[in-house]
Amino acid sequence: MDLKLLTLDEVSEVLNTSQAQVYALVRSGELPAMKMGGRGQWRVHPDRLDEYIERAHQETARWVKENPLAREDATPETLPGADS
């Protein structure tokens, strides 16, 4: 078995975010992880990271669909902030 569990630092590199943000994702349960070893260092299974990324893509796509930048019939004058 050549399974390599990822450290939070490695996960932060994949996600291009801070280690603190990854830790917050783990502590909130959004990103499943496990504590390993005597010092209780966090590790993330690569499949769980892939699943998290896929969920994030789906949630973002849903949000974009529900919150369009502008209606199809919008004109520059009717866009938010057009009067500023």
Query: Is residue 72, in this structure, part of any structural domain at all?
Result: no
Query: Is residue 74, in this structure, part of any structural domain at all?
Result: no
Q: How far apart are CA 81 and CA 67, in angstroms?
A: 16
Choose the weakest-confidence range: 41-45, 59-63, 80-84.
80-84
- pLDDT bin (cut points 50, 70, 90) of residue 77 is low
CA angle at 38 for the pair 34 and 39, rounded to the nearest 5°: 75
Domain at 27, CATH number: 1.10.10
pLDDT: which is higher, 51 or 81: 51
Per the structure, how many domains does the chain have? 1
- For helices 8-15 and 46-66, the axis angle rounded to 10 degrees is 40
Query: For residue 40, how many other CB atoms are within 10 A of its CB?
Result: 8
Residue pLDDT, tens place only, 32-52: 999 998 888 999 999 999 999
pLDDT given for residue 34 in this prediction: 96
State which H helix or E strand residue 42 sits in.
Answer: strand 41-44
